[in-house]
């Protein structure tokens, strides 16, 4: 599958300019068309399913995340805003972690059409939640897509940046997701 990475990079570069998201089906179709000269729908779906199954083998859920999210859900409305090329990927992982029901809303870039850091995906989420940007705290692990994207729409943001590589204020940095609860308590945003 050497060419798959090349195709994905080409799609990613094109998507960066307008923040338009692409699907795994589009990527798989382009790859198979180039490799075989044609790409029947059934073959594309089988190829994508196999690719995602292999990719998922490397996914592990940190112990304690479910309990953390359960505690947070008692004091906050939780939502997911994520860049993904396959809607079911995110939903399936949330269900496997037994946390899907803790989220009021799950917004995926492939369904929305725009990927983070595009302000449209953040605004869509805020509108769907009936929330103002100032009333939310966005937590992510990508400086450009998450931190800068959320900040550009007026949301306070925290960045999981254990190696302190991003140029952000120290009080916006988390060493891990497990620091979130204490950080929210320290800024008065969470009461147990």
pLDDT digits (tens, 9 = 90+) for 34-86: 888 888 888 888 887 888 788 878 888 989 999 999 999 998 999 999 988 88
* Whether residue 6 has pLDDT greater than 90: no
* Whether residue 5 has pLDDT greater than 70: no
Q: How is 43-60 classified by DSSP, letter by letter?
A: HHHHHHHHHHHHHHTT--
Confidence band (pLDDT; 50, 70, 90) for 9? low
Q: What's the CA gap between 192 and 181, in Å, rounded?
A: 10
Q: What percent of the chain has pLDDT over 70?
A: 85
Residue 156 per-residue DSSP state: -
The stretches of 130-178 forming alpha helices (DSSP H) are 149-152
**Range in 86-90, 143-147, 158-162 the model is least confident about:** 86-90
Write out pLDDT tens, residues 110-124.
898 898 999 999 999
Looking at every residue in the chain, the average pLDDT score rounds to: 86
Residue 69's pLDDT is: 96
The answer to whether the beta carbons of residues 34 and 3 sit under 8 Å apart is yes
- 108: β partners: 82
**Range in 55-59, 102-106, 117-121, 141-145 the model is least confident about:** 55-59
Residue 168's pLDDT is: 95
* Whether residue 16 has pLDDT greater than 70: no
Residue 191's pLDDT is: 39
With vertex at residue 141, the alpha carbon angle to CA 140 and CA 142, rounded to the nearest 5 degrees, is: 105
The answer to whether the beta carbons of residues 35 and 82 sit under 8 Å apart is no
For the CA atoms of 158, 162, 167, 171, the dihedral, rounded to the nearest 10 degrees, stands at 40
Q: Which two tokens stand for residue 27?
A: 């990527």
Nearest to 131 by CA among 78, 192, 184, 186: 78
The answer to whether the beta carbons of residues 3 and 35 sit under 8 Å apart is yes
Q: What's the CA gap between 26 and 14, in Å, rounded?
A: 13
């Amino acid at each position: 599958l050497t060419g798959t990475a090349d195709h994905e990079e080409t799609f990613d570069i094109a998507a960066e300019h307008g923040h338009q998201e692409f699907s795994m089906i589009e990527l798989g179709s382009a790859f198979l068309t180039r490799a075989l000269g044609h790409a029947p729908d059934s073959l594309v779906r089988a190829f994508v399913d196999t690719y995602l199954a292999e990719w998922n083998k490397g996914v592990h859920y940190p112990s304690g995340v479910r309990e953390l999210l359960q505690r947070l859900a008692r004091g906050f409305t939780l939502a997911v805003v994520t860049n993904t090329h396959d809607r079911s990927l995110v939903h399936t992982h949330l269900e496997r972690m037994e946390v899907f029901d803790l989220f009021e809303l799950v917004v995926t870039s492939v369904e929305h059409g725009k990927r983070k850091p595009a302000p449209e995906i953040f605004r869509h989420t805020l509108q769907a939640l009936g929330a103002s940007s100032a009333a939310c705290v966005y937590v992510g692990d990508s400086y450009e897509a998450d931190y800068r994207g959320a900040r550009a729409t007026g949301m306070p943001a925290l960045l999981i940046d254990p190696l302190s590589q991003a140029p952000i204020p120290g009080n916006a940095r988390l060493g891990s997701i497990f620091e979130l609860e204490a950080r929210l308590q320290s800024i008065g945003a969470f009461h147990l």
